[in-house]
Amino acid sequence: MTKLGSFVIGAACGVVAYNLVKTPAFKKACANIIGKGMQLKEDAAAFAESVKEDAEDIAAEAKYNTEAAK
């Protein structure tokens, strides 16, 4: 393949990609994906907070049991 052929194919792919990005369906799909990602982030943060609270409770209980055993 020549350099000119590669350029033409690249330019054609660029035009197709540009036109695809401008469609309302593509924008809606991207918004949906971003929304799902943000929800996943929020769910992960809530889970991490829950795990942290559980670990703090376990540590406090262990400390209390150690002090009560003395």
**CB distance 11 to 5 below 8 Å:** no
What's the pLDDT score for residue 67? 87
pLDDT tens per residue across span 39-70: 999 999 999 999 999 999 999 999 999 888 77
Q: What percent of the chain has pLDDT over 70?
A: 100
DSSP sequence for 14-44: HHHHHHHHTSHHHHHHHHHHHHHHHHHHHHH
